[in-house]
Amino acid sequence: MPGLLLDAGLADVQMHVVQPADLVGDVKQMAALTMEAIADSVLAAKLAERSEIDTVVDELYAIARDPTVIVSNPYVFQAWGTLAG
């Protein structure tokens, strides 16, 4: 991403990488919410049965409720710069 910004003529290009992780809160629900959102596609591709998906979703929500388990989400790459001139 920084290279694209530099190629586009931006100056003072910087970047930052974060990885959300927590013991409680919204970060911990992302996996369960994602599984719910892709359930129909998983079923259509015959990758799992509805009962298997439901079990996975239930287990992911149980993990999200457990304050002793750390859950992290993928890295988030942020890049920015200023217009030259």
Question: How far is Cα of residue 62 from the mean position of the Cα atoms in its chain?
Answer: 18
Q: CA 78 to CA 63: how far, in whole Å?
A: 28
Whether the per-residue pLDDT at 85 is higher than 80: the answer is: no
69 — phi, psi (to 5°)?
Answer: -110, 125
Mapping DSSP to helix (H, G, I), strand (E, B) and coil, where does residue 77 land?
A: strand
- pTM for this predicted structure: 0.76
Q: How confident is the model at residue 84 (pLDDT cuts 50, 70, 90)?
A: confident
